[in-house]
Amino acid sequence: MRKQAFGLLAGFSFVVAGFAQAKPEWEDIFRRINDEVQQKSRAYGTLKEATETIGHRLTGSSNGKKAEEYAYNLLKSYGFKDVRYQPFEVESWSRGTLEVAVGNNPQSLSAIKSVSLAHSPVKSDVTPEVVDMGNGLEEDYLSSPGKVKDKIALVYLGVLPGSPQGTRSLHRSEKTALATKYGAKGIIIINTANGGILLTGTASVTGKLIPIPAVCIGKEDGMAFKAQVAKEKQYAHINMTNFSGMIKARNVIATIKGTSLPNEKIVVGGHLDSWDLATGAIDNGIGSFSVLDMARTFQALKLRPQRTVEFVMFMGEEEGLLGSKAYVADAVKNKTIDQLRYMLNYDMTNDPKGYSTTAEESKDLFQSIGAIANKLDTSFRNSFRSGAGLHSDHQPFMLHGVPTGGAAGGSLPNNAGPCYHADCDAFRLVDEQGMKNTVRFNAMLVYGIADAPVIKAKHFTDAETRDFLLKNNLKEPLKIAGEWRWED
């Protein structure tokens, strides 16, 4: 049972004495946020409705368009006057047919359960030899020069058991880029989840078509095939068709103008799109519909902080962060990029216990906010983490020097992890209280940052951004993706 502390604020001033950035009025505002979300949250209910009436939310599909309209109309129903679409053009991709067969005789191969990875070619029909490239890292290719040329690379999605301690993995798109770089004719990626679960997702670091077919097979089938490759020469036949074409998609943006610092902006985002194998309830229904409910909470309580807050439903995240890249590109073009003081991102966020940020200097502010949240509900432990990673909608902002952050310390509900990008990512996995916790504790964070007297975190210069990325060991994946813009 969670120990509630509503009204039990004796000694509160002592608890937050070390956090000079908390305003006295935040205590009452955060209590109101807490009560509103606990009693009236619509995050769980609207996500349920969307999964039942829309289904998947693949960017560029008719379902994706329905999801954009659903979010827009929902925000309007919450009383937002300033709601708009932000259109952008993308290279849409959707799967067509796929046949994969493996064995030691190219003339007699056995079918294996598989799924295409996004941005694979529109058409491909190949039957090369398969070679085991281990974890699919650069060192795996450098240790066996020429091994993969004109063959199919078999790689593990994560880090293989028995790998040297400290071995870092790469994103599936980066592993595909390396296979392509070293001359592979295709790539087969072995999933890490048990039970024959297949994973989809983009195999492209650019959001555009890749030159080789990329497929995923289940862990059990994959490890068995890996053992066969070690024993004798093996082949794979990959025959696929897909669709690709330029289409328009739309971010959905709702704005609350700041009272005294309207030209300073806090962006609160989550990606609305999902893959098409299921309804994307976890990735990223729990994040995006929590952001929608944060927006509802601000409107219901008529919260008006000093700085402008923009709640953004990004499309195209799954196909290469396309919506967030479009948002940042527009901000650069219209010269408002320097107005962005913080970007908070919610991607598969559930039941958080603290806050995270790329800016260590925000610790005092974040923990002053979290101290109040902890007094309202001690299950929120007010943990703090600083650092950086890639592959979600914060990335384009971070690469332009904008401080980013969000929740920390949570966990996915109902053993949902293995269903990441898989056909089992369904609403039955969602936990209602976990979503409420995301909404209430992070609505407090949003308000606190937007209303803070001072935000110590600042925009990095280009040189500072480079140093920050180096410090967080992000040069290698960014170089593979072609997004490292600095000279060595």
- 391-402 per-position pLDDT tens digit: 999 999 999 999
Give me 21's structure tokens: 């950035």
d(CA 199, CA 202): 10
Which pLDDT band, with edges at 50, 70 and 90, does 4 fall under?
A: very low
Q: Return the residue matching tokens 């609207």.
A: 46
Average pLDDT over residues 283-310: 98
Say how many C-beta atoms besides its own lie within 10 A of residue 407's C-beta.
Answer: 25
What pLDDT, on a 0 to 100 scale, did the predictor assign at position 19?
53
Q: Sorting pLDDT into bands at 50, 70 and 90, what band is 20?
A: low
Backbone angles phi, psi at 205, to 5 degrees: -85, -10
* Proportion of the chain above pLDDT 90, given as a percent: 94
Question: Does the pLDDT value for residue 351 go beyond 50?
Answer: yes
Distance of CA 378 to the CA centre of its chain: 28
Q: How many CA atoms lie within 13 A of 187 on its CB side?
A: 35
What contacts 70, CB < 8 A, 6 or more positions away? 50, 53, 54
Inter-residue contact 239 to 120 (CB < 8 Å): no
Per-residue pLDDT for 14 more than 70? Answer: no
Average pLDDT over residues 390-419: 98
- Within 346-471, strands assigned E span 354-357, 383-386, 404-408
d(CA 359, CA 163): 32
Q: Is the pLDDT of residue 18 over 80?
A: no
By DSSP bridging, strand 383-386 and strand 234-256 are: unpaired
The token pair at 99 is 């046949």
| Mean predicted lDDT score pLDDT of the chain | 95
Distance CA 281, CA 273 (A): 10
pLDDT exceeds 70 at position 362: yes
Res. 10: pLDDT tops 90:
no
Burial call 136-168: b when 16+ CB within 10 Å, e when fewer: bbbebbeeeeebbeebbbbbbbebbeeeeeeee
pLDDT band at 16 (very low <50, low <70, confident <90, very high): very low
Checking if the pLDDT of 1 tops 50, the result is: no
Sketch out the chain's domains with CATH numbers: 20-82+257-480 (3.40.630.10), 93-243 (3.50.30.30)
At 247, the pLDDT band (50, 70, 90 cuts) reads: confident
Q: Which among 186, 50, 213 is positioned nearest to 123, based on CA atoms?
A: 213
pLDDT at 9 over 50: no
Identity of the amino acid at 373:
A
Pairing verdict, β 340-345 and 404-408: parallel
